[in-house]
């Protein structure tokens, strides 16, 4: 019986070479909802995505996608699950030796037995959804940053996934591309009936489109809520993050001896 | 003082064990590549494409180098042989040097520098730009799709390139010895045919080039796949491919020669 | 790079690569000569085989008619027994003389067969009765010195 949540993470811990990256993570992604995971750089957000996709194995705890324990899946079952997921990497990760058309056709050709005619129609449909149908003959090195990310998005939705994952989709985009991307992410989520997880630190764009937000700091979840909850939150970390204050729970200064000691201490030695 | 000595021992030990660990990792990777090769051979166009980039594009450097090496052998060989009145044995000298040693070894070294480093850079760049991760997330095994075709293209190309090197080298020796210097054409070829044995020399040379092909392709795909995902990582991996390949080729050459050419 | 052009170039590459291999095998090596056709064995024993090696040629009238297959020491008679793989096309009479010759002055050693006039042919596995040992350079020199020494007093 399918549970309410598409993705359920319970008591997840992950360490890399005995360095803890994620500690005691508990979160749920309900079906059909768009959820943002926000936090400072290096807090473990991307690692979380890789754990959900099965590219990394948890040290302890469970990651369940559509009721299946990702960590316990065998290779072919994991591959079957991945066909129902779509992932948008930070800078697109398009295959540089293939054209735009071939890039979007790739998951279709590799994972289905559809005829080239059918694939042709599907590819153009997906490119049309992201507004780049006319660009199907171009090569990735002829695309701008925003355009290559849109092509990567078309490729990620090629198999109509039930779960979409976005790794920093807004990083480095101009205002127009930002608006386009935000709108696409929301529209696709609703059109596909999928759930989406967005890892980002772009607060204004995200709060406009998401249904729920999780905040992470130093590998732990420190706050969560709907966009309204977040905007009205009194949690000091959330306030510092949302209102962009330079100093607060996340300190400005990197840990160091006191200023006086460092500057004057040399002369006393 | 004692700490410093113990420290340097510990570092040495670590370097040795980490090298051995890397070798173990590389062996597992080779196994994974071989197991994933079914896809590569079923979709032969993938291998054909890589054959073009590794084999065809290496032709120029192999042929030109082979020609020059053969010509140098002709010059040097004549200079030494004519002192003992044996200049008619020039064909033998050129052919045996090339077929037994220079053909397989030099062609392998050139292949590692040109094609091996290109393979490492290509795969390393795919790693750095997350293309390999993207492939994994699309339920396509990157080892089967990206690594295996390049590996097999290298293994197939190497013996062909070594044979081409030897063949054009012999022609170069002929050009210098017979056409330029005037060694007797008949004895050049007939003594060569008498002295070069198919089983002992040519087949062994072929086996050598096949082994070198496996070694170079293995190192190239391994270093590329495990490159650190950054610009420095890719460049370091490319350098490692060329250096490690060169050392491995020469070491393997010694071992193979010891097995093949002792006794009889 | 169009697919068809790519295929063309790869085909060309493989073709010339194979051609080079064939060239080496036929023109450079002696593939055609090392016939693995039908053969029979003959044996011969020598007091001294000198530098004869396995796979050395067996020649008659200067043409290669076989190869030395193995060399072993006979502890009963203290001689070397050489087994030869002979080309089945050629039969030799029972009074054939087997000698160990050197090609050139310092070249490799081979077995030379000189035929007699007998009508009966050697059977497979037979032993050649008449043999001549290899010429050992040291013996030749000491013989020469001995002759020289025995010449001197009579003068």
Residue C27 domain flag: yes
pLDDT value of position B147: 96
What whole-number distance in Å separates Cα of residue C79 and Cα of residue A259? Answer: 98
pLDDT value of position B264: 40
What whole-number distance in Å separates Cα of residue B62 and Cα of residue B166? Answer: 10
Q: Are C56 and C122 contained in the same domain?
A: yes
What are the structural domain ranges in chain A? 1-84+162-181+192-269, 96-160
Residue A99's nearest CA partner among A136, A72, A131 is A136
Residue C79 domain flag: yes
- The encoded tokens of residue B264 equal 């009889």
The strand order across the sheet containing C63-74 reads C127-128, C39-46, C79-87, C63-74, C57-60, C109-114, C97-102, C130-132
Q: Phi first, then psi: give them for residue A211, nearest 5 degrees.
A: -95, -25
Residue C151 domain flag: no
Q: Is the pLDDT of residue A268 over 60?
A: no
Q: Are C108 and C52 contained in the same domain?
A: yes
Q: Is B130 in Cβ contact with A82 (below 8 Å)?
A: no
Q: What percent of chain B has pLDDT over 90?
A: 72
Q: How deeply is C141 buried, as exposed, middle or buried, from its count of CB atoms within 10 A (0-12, 13-18, 19+)? A: exposed
Q: Is the pLDDT of residue B33 over 90?
A: yes
A2 — pLDDT class (breaks 50, 70, 90): very low
pLDDT value of position B263: 47
**Which residue in this structure is represented by tokens 């007093």?**
C153
Count of structural domains, chain C: 2
Find which of C13, C18, C54 to mutate to test the B interface (most B CBs within 10 Å of its CB). Answer: C13
Among B residues 45-74, those touching chain C with beta carbons less than 8 Å apart: 45, 48-49, 51-52, 55-56, 59
C1 — pLDDT class (breaks 50, 70, 90): low
Which tens digits make up the pLDDT trace of C14-68? 999 999 999 988 876 665 555 567 888 888 888 888 878 777 888 888 888 888 8
Residue C146 domain flag: no
| Average of per-residue pLDDT values in chain C | 82
Residue C147 domain flag: no
Alpha-carbon gap: B133 to the closest alpha carbon of chain A (Å): 8
Find which of B53, B125, B137 to mutate to test the A interface (most A CBs within 10 Å of its CB). Answer: B137
| Residues of chain B contacting C9 with CB distance shorter than 8 Å | 52, 56
Residues in chain B: 264
Architecture of the domain delimited by A1-84+162-181+192-269: 3-Layer(aba) Sandwich (3.40)
Q: Cβ contacts of residue A137 below 8 Å, gap of 6+?
A: A99, A100, A101
Q: Is C21 in Cβ contact with B193 (below 8 Å)?
A: no
pLDDT value of position C136: 75
Q: What percent of chain A has pLDDT over 90?
A: 34
pLDDT value of position A1: 39
Residue C148 domain flag: no
Residue C47 domain flag: yes
Which tens digits make up the pLDDT trace of A229-249? 888 887 888 888 887 777 777
Q: Are C51 and C30 contained in the same domain?
A: no
Range of the domain at C23: 1-34
Residue C102 domain flag: yes
> What would the mean pLDDT of B209-222 be, rounded to a whole number?
97
The runs of H, that is alpha helices, within chain A are 45-52, 75-82, 100-111, 116-129, 145-156, 175-192, 203-209, 227-231, 236-242, 259-268
Residue B112's nearest CA partner among B254, B29, B220, B214 is B220
What whole-number distance in Å separates Cα of residue C21 and Cα of residue C27? Answer: 10
Q: Are C74 and C46 contained in the same domain?
A: yes
Q: Is the pLDDT of residue B145 over 70?
A: yes
Which tens digits make up the pLDDT trace of B108-133? 999 999 999 999 999 999 999 999 99
The pTM of this model reads 0.81
Q: Are C26 and C55 contained in the same domain?
A: no
Q: Are C88 and C62 contained in the same domain?
A: yes
Q: Are C81 and C112 contained in the same domain?
A: yes
Residue B156's nearest CA partner among B103, B107, B209, B106 is B209
Inter-CA distances, B207 with B201, B220, B259, Å: 10, 20, 12
Using DSSP, how many helices (H) and how many strands (E) does chain B show? 13, 0
Q: Which residue has the higher pLDDT, B74 or C105?
A: B74
DSSP C33-55: TS----EEEEEEEES--TT--TT
What whole-number distance in Å separates Cα of residue A197 and Cα of residue A210? Answer: 9
What whole-number distance in Å separates Cα of residue A226 and Cα of residue A30? Answer: 13
Q: Which residue has the higher pLDDT, C28 or C138?
A: C138
What whole-number distance in Å separates Cα of residue A132 and Cα of residue A224? Answer: 35
Please tell me which of the candidates C1, C14, C24 has its beta carbon nearest to residue B166: C24
Q: Is the pLDDT of residue B92 over 50?
A: yes
What whole-number distance in Å separates Cα of residue C9 and Cα of residue A170? Answer: 44
**Which residue in this structure is represented by tokens 């993705």?**
A7
Which tens digits make up the pLDDT trace of C97-130? 898 888 765 567 888 888 888 888 888 888 888 8
| Residues of chain B contacting A95 with CB distance shorter than 8 Å | 126, 131, 134-135
> What would the mean pLDDT of B156-165 be, rounded to a whole number?
96
| Residues of chain A contacting B139 with CB distance shorter than 8 Å | 79-80, 82-83, 107, 110-111
Which tens digits make up the pLDDT trace of A25-71? 889 998 999 999 988 777 788 888 889 988 888 888 889 998 889 88
pLDDT value of position B161: 97
Q: Is the pLDDT of residue A128 over 50?
A: yes
Please tell me which of the candidates B129, B131, B139 has its beta carbon nearest to residue A82: B139
The strand order across the sheet containing A212-217 reads A85-88, A163-167, A195-200, A34-39, A212-217, A220-225
Among B residues 97-136, those touching chain C with beta carbons less than 8 Å apart: 99
């Amino acid at each position: 019986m399918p549970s309410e949540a598409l993705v359920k993470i319970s008591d997840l811990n992950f360490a890399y070479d005995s360095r803890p990256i994620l500690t005691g993570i508990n979160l749920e992604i309900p079906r059909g909802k768009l959820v943002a995971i926000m936090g400072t750089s290096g807090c473990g957000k991307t690692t979380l995505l890789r754990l959900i996709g099965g590219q990394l194995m948890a040290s302890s705890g469970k990651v369940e996608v559509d009721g299946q324990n990702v960590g316990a899946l065998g290779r072919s079952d994991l591959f079957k699950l991945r066909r129902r997921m779509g992932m948008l990497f930070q800078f697109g990760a398009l295959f540089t030796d293939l054209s735009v058309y071939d890039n979007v056709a790739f998951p279709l050709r590799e994972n289905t037995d559809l005829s080239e005619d059918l694939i042709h129609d599907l590819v153009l449909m997906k490119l049309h959804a992201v507004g780049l149908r006319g660009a199907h003959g171009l090569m990735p090195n002829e695309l701008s940053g925003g355009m290559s990310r849109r092509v990567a998005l078309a490729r990620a939705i090629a198999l109509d996934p039930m779960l979409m994952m976005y790794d920093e989709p807004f990083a480095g985009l101009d205002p127009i591309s930002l608006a386009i991307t935000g709108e696409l992410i929301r529209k696709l989520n609703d059109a596909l009936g999928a759930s989406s997880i967005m890892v980002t630190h772009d607060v204004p764009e995200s709060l406009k489109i998401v249904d729920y937000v999780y905040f992470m700091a130093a590998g732990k979840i420190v706050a969560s809520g709907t966009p309204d909850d977040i905007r009205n939150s009194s949690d000091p970390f959330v306030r510092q993050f949302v209102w962009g204050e330079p100093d607060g729970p996340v300190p400005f200064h990197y840990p160091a001896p006191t200023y006086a000691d460092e500057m004057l201490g040399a002369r006393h030695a | 003082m004692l700490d410093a000595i113990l420290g340097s021992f510990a570092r040495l030990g670590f370097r040795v064990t980490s090298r051995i660990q890397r070798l173990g990792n590389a062996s597992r990777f080779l196994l994974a590549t071989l197991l994933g090769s079914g896809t590569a051979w079923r979709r032969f166009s993938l291998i054909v494409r890589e054959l073009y980039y590794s084999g065809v594009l290496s032709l120029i450097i192999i042929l030109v180098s082979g020609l020059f090496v053969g010509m140098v052998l002709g010059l040097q060989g004549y200079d030494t042989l004519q002192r003992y009145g044996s200049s008619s044995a020039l064909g033998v000298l050129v052919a045996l040097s090339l077929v037994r040693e220079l053909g397989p070894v030099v062609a392998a070294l050139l292949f590692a520098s040109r094609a091996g480093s290109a393979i490492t850079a290509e795969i390393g760049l795919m790693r750095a730009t997350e293309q390999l991760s993207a492939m994994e997330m699309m339920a396509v095994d990157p080892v089967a799709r990206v690594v295996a075709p390049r590996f097999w293209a290298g293994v197939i190309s190497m013996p062909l390139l070594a044979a081409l090197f030897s063949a054009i080298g012999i022609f170069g020796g002929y050009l210098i010895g017979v056409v330029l210097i005037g060694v007797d054409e008949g004895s050049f070829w007939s003594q060569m045919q008498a002295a070069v044995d198919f089983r002992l020399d040519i087949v062994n040379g072929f086996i050598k080039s096949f082994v070198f092909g496996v070694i170079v392709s293995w190192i190239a795909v391994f270093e590329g796949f495990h490159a650190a995902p950054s610009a420095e990582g890719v460049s370091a991996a490319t350098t490692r491919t060329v250096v490690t390949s060169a050392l491995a080729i020469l070491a393997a050459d010694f071992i193979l020669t010891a097995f093949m050419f002792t006794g009889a | 790079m169009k697919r068809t052009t790519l295929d063309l170039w790869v085909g060309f590459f493989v073709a010339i690569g194979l051609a080079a291999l064939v060239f080496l095998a036929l023109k450079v090596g002696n593939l055609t000569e090392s016939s693995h056709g039908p053969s029979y064995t003959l044996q011969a024993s020598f007091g001294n085989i000198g530098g004869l090696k396995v796979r050395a040629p067996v020649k008659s009238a200067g043409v290669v008619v076989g190869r030395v297959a193995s060399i072993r020491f006979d502890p009963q008679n203290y001689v070397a027994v050489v087994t030869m793989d002979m080309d089945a096309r050629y039969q030799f009479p029972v009074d054939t003389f087997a000698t160990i010759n050197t090609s050139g002055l310092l070249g490799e050693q081979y077995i030379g067969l000189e035929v007699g006039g007998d009508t009966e042919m050697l059977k497979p596995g037979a032993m050649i009765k008449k043999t001549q040992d290899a010429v050992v350079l040291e013996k030749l020199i000491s013989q020469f010195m001995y002759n020289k020494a025995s010449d001197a007093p009579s003068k």
